[in-house]
Amino acid sequence: MREEFEIRIDKETRIKVWKRDSRFSMTYLFYIDKWIDIARIDNCLHEGRIGTHIHRYRESRVEFREMTIKESMDTLKNIGKNIKEKIKDGCYRDC
């Protein structure tokens, strides 16, 4: 059975989560004219490897890291907030 839920941080930020059995994905979304996926943590297959890993905005490499779901949520909030502030400060172009 697949569960989905969303956590609204504020009017421009939300976290979308889905879980099914032992798999999960958490996405930090930021709104600038449209919803942008700026960070994601999941434990789905990636490059032939299964394990919890972090995707960051405009980076092709991922970081594999052992984390619980609670640790993943806290990590995602911190990474997403950091990237969001960089976007707001103009550090990232062409959102």
Q: Determine, yes or no, domain membership for 28.
A: yes
Q: Determine, yes or no, domain membership for 93.
A: no
Q: What single-letter DSSP state applies at residue 49?
A: B
Beta carbons of 52 and 68 less than 8 angstroms apart: no
Q: List, run by run, the mean pLDDT of 10-residue segments along the chain (95 residues).
A: 80 87 91 92 91 94 92 94 91 58
Q: Give me the pLDDT at residue 93, please.
A: 52
Count of domains observed in the chain: 1
Q: Determine, yes or no, domain membership for 37.
A: yes
Q: Give me the pLDDT at residue 95, please.
A: 46
Q: Which two tokens stand for residue 22?
A: 């032992």
Amino acid identity of residue 57, one-letter, is: Y
Q: Determine, yes or no, domain membership for 94.
A: no
Kindly report the pTM of this predicted structure.
Answer: 0.85
- The range of the structural domain enclosing residue 19 comes to 2-88
